[in-house]
Amino acid sequence: MSTIDIAEPIQERFDALRGDWKSRTHHLSNVAQIALVSSYQQIIGMGPQALPLILAELQQQTDHWFWALEAITGENPVPKVDAGNMAASAATWIAWGKSNGYLK
């Protein structure tokens, strides 16, 4: 894998990492394995600047972004009753993103 230039725009970097992550995990069902892929970890390493991009992805398509969101924010707004429910978790995180200024 090539190194990523620090000056590379955030959206481009995120898109490249997201594409790599999706191509490496499309056949996996274990969330831990999905979240431990290097490109996913690099997205987490982008920190708060990745939040609007991740949340926008969730608005388009529900996917396993919850580990990254929790790792970056230190929060988990999803009620225990909705744990494991991807649609409900996505809706909760999207609402969280709107109320915290990461989404319009």
pLDDT at 74 over 80: yes
CB atoms within 10 A of CB 40: 23
Q: Looking at residues 8-34, what average pLDDT do you find?
A: 93
Q: Which residue is listed with tokens 């191509």?
A: 23
What pTM does this model have?
Answer: 0.88
The model's confidence at residue 29, banded by pLDDT at 50, 70 and 90, is confident
Per-domain boundaries in the chain: 10-99
pLDDT at 7 over 70: no
CA atoms within 13 A on the CB side of 86: 9
pLDDT tens, residue by residue, 37-57: 999 999 999 999 999 999 999
